[in-house]
Amino acid sequence: MVLAATMTAPEIAWGALTPLLILLGGTCLLLLLGTLVPRWPRVATPTLTIVTALAAGTAACVQWNNLYYRKGYSIVADAISIDRFSVLITIIITVAVALGALLASAHHDDANGDPLENYALLLTSAIGAVVMGSANDLIVLFLGLEILSLSLYLMAASDRRREESQESGLKYFILGGFASAFLLYGVALVYGATASTNINGIAEALTERIAVGGSDAMLLVGIGLMLVGLGFKVSAAPFQIWTPDVYEGAPTSVTSYMASAAKVAAFAALLRIFIVGLESRVDDWRPVIWVLAVLSIFVGSTMAVVQTNVKRMLAYSSISHAGFILVGVEAAAHMEGNGLAASATYLAIYTMMVMGSFAILIAVAGKNDTATTLDAFKGLAKRRPALALAFSTLLFAQAGVPFTSGFVAKFGVIKAAVEVDSYGISIAAMVGAVIGAFLYLRIVVSMWMEEPETQEPLEIPTVVSVVIGISVAFTLVIGFFPSILLDAIELVRFAPL
């Protein structure tokens, strides 16, 4: 007599998945209406995308408020965590989607055909990013990563007029595939060492492993491979080689989203895996984070200084920013202090700074992405003084000038490192910030002190102006009143609590 094996399906708390369900529903609705409705208005596509993102963000804000009464918890057989950290990541990503859709609506050229699929890819990438930020299981996390990555590969190559866009999509696809393979192989080895893919289960298995002893070779190799894969996704040196070429070749509206939401999701995954799952092995991986942080700061800052293309400058700048976020990760690895909150603060602030900066690049370069060199920004103050002032504000914020949000972000991660006695990485971060400031001042001087190469009027689409205005307002408000953001992010914790 053969007994059939029974499997109990996990209980799903659908209400906790509301932001994800809204994004999924919006994607399906967009594809159905855009395909089946005759004469579907072109403006309706970005409008529906933005409404979907804002609705998902609103649902996440409601979740944030509900967590005041109910602390963090896990659902779907402990595969998804609902805590203040995952909810914050969801809010940041939905904001990036809304701003990215606004920029895409101004940046699209009819020569590239119907933009419907690009907005659908934007929403599907957001689904993957939110899953990455909430995943409490390495397999679920990998699935989210692939949903995000595959969408970004296609978005990077979406400008059919430019060979650079096709090249960037292909390069991102090939190198991203290698990075995913490293990550997946690392997951397999960690599973082999712990017999679990659940992040909490890995933490428990490693705690017991310390008590009973055992071989560490497989585990350490797995940790190293996961660091390589995630290091690629966050654009940390020395895994940053793809970043300048892909950022330069992709449509600028896609680059803005890639530099913000994709990096936020990857850092969310890195923080949860290493701070929660690998806490007991912190002495093995914290020195690697230290090295990656310092390398990223100095490689990003020094390479950015010698560039002549503003898009590549911002790409190398994003590598430097990844280094500063890793400073916060290193501080969080000491399992005390405010490293986690500082990293989360930096992610939120960085998203707004980078979206605004690339919005200004769209305003100057136009739909064809041709005028992205530093020469195109010469004398911008005489052609469009308000635009030059806005860009100067965002550049000063990225440099960490006081009374901007960038200062709050940089000061936060350095302060967190000092609090846990990581003085070496704190000094390296401050030196790197000084080097990076030269890059931003170089652009500012070009805008205000040099003569423009052309006197042609610069037409700025209204939606681009909206994104710039939101970014600059956020930068100044948080710079002058940082407690608005800091008081909320101080509540960020991982589940279970």
Query: Mean pLDDT by 10-residue block, N- to C-terminus, for the chain (497 residues)?
Result: 55 82 94 84 88 95 84 83 92 95 80 76 95 93 94 88 85 91 94 90 84 71 94 90 89 91 94 91 92 94 90 92 94 86 94 94 81 84 90 94 93 94 92 91 90 78 92 95 90 71
- Long-range Cβ pairs for the range 361-365 (8 Å, 24+): 361/252, 361/310, 361/311, 361/314, 362/103, 362/106, 362/107, 362/252, 362/253, 362/256, 362/464, 363/387, 363/458, 363/460, 363/461, 363/464, 363/465, 363/468, 364/458, 365/252, 365/311
Q: Choose among 447, 432, 373, 364: nearest CA to 399.
A: 432
Cis peptide before 496 (omega within 30 of 0): yes
Whether the Cβ atoms of residue 384 and residue 350 lie closer than 8 Å to each other: no
pLDDT at 207: 84
Q: In degrees, to the nearest 5, what angle opens at C-alpha 140 toward C-alphas 138 and 143?
A: 110
Phi, psi dihedrals of residue 80, rounded to the nearest 5°: -125, 130
**3-class SS of residue 128:** helix
pLDDT for 497? 47
Residue 128 and residue 149 in contact, taking contact as beta carbons nearer than 8 Å: yes
Q: Are 390 and 384 in contact (CB under 8 A)?
A: no
Return the structure tokens found at 289. 């984070």
Q: Assign 337 to helix, strand or coil.
A: coil
CA atoms within 13 A on the CB side of 318: 36
- The type of residue at 266 is A
Report the alpha-carbon distance of residue 176 to residue 447 in Å, rounded: 36
Q: What whole-number distance in Å separates Cα of residue 480 and Cα of residue 188?
A: 47
Structure tokens at 211: 């008590």
Check: CB of residue 269 under 8 Å from CB of residue 135: yes
Look up the pTM and report it. Answer: 0.94
β-bridge mates for residue 37, sequence order: none
